Amino acid sequence: MIKPDGVQRGYMGEIISRFEKKGMVCKGLKTFMTPREVAEEHYKDLSSKPFFGDLCDYICSGPVVCMVWEGPGVVKSARLMIGATNPLESAPGTIRGDLAVEVGRNVIHGSDSVESAEREIALWFGGDDELLDYEMCIKPWVREE
């Protein structure tokens, strides 16, 4: 998910392009103004942290872009492309390493496990009618199988 700072800074195209170029397939994408309850549910594991309130304010402060990307090992691969939580520790070449300087303005969220991805897709998307089932015509040039 591209966070509100990523949208406001004009990085939608840049970020989407990185996943496209990698060879991942976009199975869902939408802009969304996040209701407070959705932000709190999304980050419920962090509800005891001192920054929880500011984090939910941040996520609700403007439109986000929710995305579902498919590919081999996509959760781990996307997390590597996104970089460390603190952009000052994210490697150059990663999204956060290249585009951000503060942990509270780190431009993108990525699911940290397949289970989290399933939970988050169910939370942010309104069911299967918002997700696509298709193949890219370039698939044989990206995937060996």
Binding-site positions read: 3, 51, 79, 85, 96, 106
Q: Which is nearer to ligand IDP, 34 or 106 (CB)?
A: 106
How big is the chain by its Cα radius of gyration, in Å?
15
Residue 14 vs 112, nearer CB to Mg ion: 112
CB nearer Mg ion, residue 26 or residue 84: 84
Contact positions toward ligand IDP, by CB under 6 A?
A: 46, 51, 55, 85, 103-104, 106, 109, 112
By the 8 A CB rule, do 42 and 110 touch?
no
Q: Which long-range contacts (CB under 8 A, 24 or more apart) does 73-76 make?
A: 74/24, 75/110, 75/111, 75/112, 75/113, 75/114, 75/116, 75/117
Q: Which residues are annotated as a binding site for ATP?
A: 3, 51, 79, 85, 96, 106
Q: Which does 55 bind (CB under 5 to 8 A by kind): ligand IDP, Mg ion, none?
A: ligand IDP
